Amino acid sequence: MNDPHEYKQLVAKYFQNVKWKGVGTATNNITGALGNAQFGEFEAAFEQRLGRLSKKYPNGQNRTQIEKALRDLANQNNWEGAHAELVAYDFLWPDTNWGGISLNQTIKASEALTGELGNQNANFDGFYDCFNTYFDIKTLSDKSKDILQGIIADAIKAARAAELSIIPEYPLDMDFTTLQNNRNALLQELKNAITSNPQSTVDSAIVGGLSYKLLRGSGILTAASTYDPYLHARNHHTLLFKHAKKFSKTNPSLIVFVVFPWFSEPLPALAGCREIFFRSLSRRFFCQYSKDSRTANEIYDKLPNTMSAHCATKHLSGALFIDDQSITAKDPSKQNVEAFAFLNPNANHKVCHTFTSYLSELGFKIDGFENDNY
């Protein structure tokens, strides 16, 4: 089972009405892994997830949204977000004992910060009817890796060096905007290195700490990296400002990050680094701007200069992190995730205590920064 056709057959066991029009024949990490003996644990967990989703969302608009995500999961370009949605929709809604949940909800622009960005409305991936709370699902994607892979591919193509293999070596906590802002210069630098009798290692003179390992023909390439979860959080927490259009002005709202090894930033599991990073990232966004005099657009230029950075952060009620560990699932009948919830102590609209209890019942480790808000 290694192509979208076989994937469709598996989905059809639980969802018979998925419209597959527009789905090509290229594989992605998910469809390529299914049926591969190396990923038998993942396949078993994935099928169990399909069964749970089918039971939890049997009809109506919710069912339609699940079917859309399943269709997108077979696409070469949209699969990351689709997988994140399916993981979150499965984990965030165990049963109906707590009330209703509505997926794919649109509200007026005036009810969210999206209005400040000039948009007509705001669409959320879900709304808890019982808790009056919106949520939107995001992938914690590896932007540094994506940028560097693009630079390497373009440099090899420009230098007509198809026989060359290159891997980057850089601190995993690096600020990806440094790479983004210097992409053209980095591309030219690497292209020049390739065409001028390259050594086995090329150090960048543009971005400190960045180097490349090069190999012509066959062989093995390895790279080493350093990592500090606190530095990572300092460099990356401003990403939340870029999700501001999903901050509600009238209700509690949450950003849900799904972490998955095949598309996420490499977060070392040693010494609790992941939880440290999640907490530090959230605390920086929720707490550190209370005494910051900067306007919101000094951090994210699409936000207005009439709004303070602190005011913008107060429109997000919390950040949830769902670490999907289904690739190595030992018991496919379980969720196989580790989940963390960090709640904004300065939010204009805080989640209710009942919702906090609900998150605890789901299995979230919860931190509200009550005694760490400075």
* pLDDT cut 70: percent of the chain above it: 97
Q: How confident is the model at residue 1 (pLDDT cuts 50, 70, 90)?
A: very low
Does the pLDDT at position 252 exceed 60?
A: yes
**Which phi and psi (to 5°) does residue 105 adopt?**
-110, 135
In the DSSP assignment, the letter for residue 104 is: E
Mind listing the pLDDT tens digit for each residue in 310-364? 999 999 999 999 999 999 999 999 999 999 999 999 999 999 999 999 999 999 9
pLDDT of res. 25: 67
pLDDT of res. 2: 46
Per the prediction, the chain carries an average pLDDT of 92
Q: How confident is the model at residue 76 (pLDDT cuts 50, 70, 90)?
A: confident
pLDDT of res. 223: 83
pLDDT of res. 22: 66
- Of 23-27, 65-69, 75-79, 107-111, the least confident: 23-27
Q: How far is CA 119 from CA 114, 115, 313, 315, in A?
A: 6, 5, 19, 17
Q: What is the pTM of this model?
A: 0.93
Angle at which helix 79-91 crosses helix 60-73, to 10 degrees, equals 140
pLDDT (mean) for 258-273 = 89
Contacts of 58 (CB under 8 A, 6+ apart): none
pLDDT of res. 24: 63
Q: How confident is the model at residue 270 (pLDDT cuts 50, 70, 90)?
A: confident
Does the pLDDT at position 246 exceed 80?
A: yes
Give the C-alpha separation, 135 to 246, whole Å: 8
Cross-strand partners of 215: 165
pLDDT of res. 221: 84
Q: How confident is the model at residue 96 (pLDDT cuts 50, 70, 90)?
A: low
Tokens of 66: 């699940």
pLDDT of res. 230: 96
